[in-house]
Amino acid sequence: MRANSDIRPETFIKSKERTQFNYNIVETIKEDMDGTERVSFDYDYIEIVGGVTRDKLIIAMIADKYSKDDELALLHNKMIGKDTDEYDAYIAFRAGVKIIVGVEISK
């Protein structure tokens, strides 16, 4: 999911049963209705129930973009040689997710 904040969000925000993982955090300048500018942060986030693991982060990030039905359709189409560009984009996205998780977990 996408979000915006006037303060830079922490990478991990823990609550009683969930952890919010914020990533792709980008500082931007927003213009208010009165024309003044302010610093703001756009970012993506997912929520993990229970303990946070590398695998849970990867699965949640992929599920945020692709439903299980989407993934099955992409795999099926790849097997029959159809829509290979969409499948390649999916694989590239998965690889990018693993890089993001690897960098954030190692901090």
How much is the pLDDT for 83?
Answer: 80
Beta strands per DSSP E along 32-83: 37-49
19-53 per-position pLDDT tens digit: 999 999 999 999 999 999 999 999 999 999 999 99
Parallel, antiparallel, or unpaired: how do β-strands 12-14 and 18-31 relate?
Answer: antiparallel
Instruction: For residue 47, give the nearest of 9, 94, 1 by alpha carbon.
Output: 1
In the structure encoding, which two tokens stand for residue 68, read together? 């299980």
CB burial string 57-70: b at 16+ within 10 A, e below:
bbebbbeeebeeee
- Please state the pTM of the whole predicted model: 0.82
pLDDT in tens, 4-18: 999 999 999 999 899
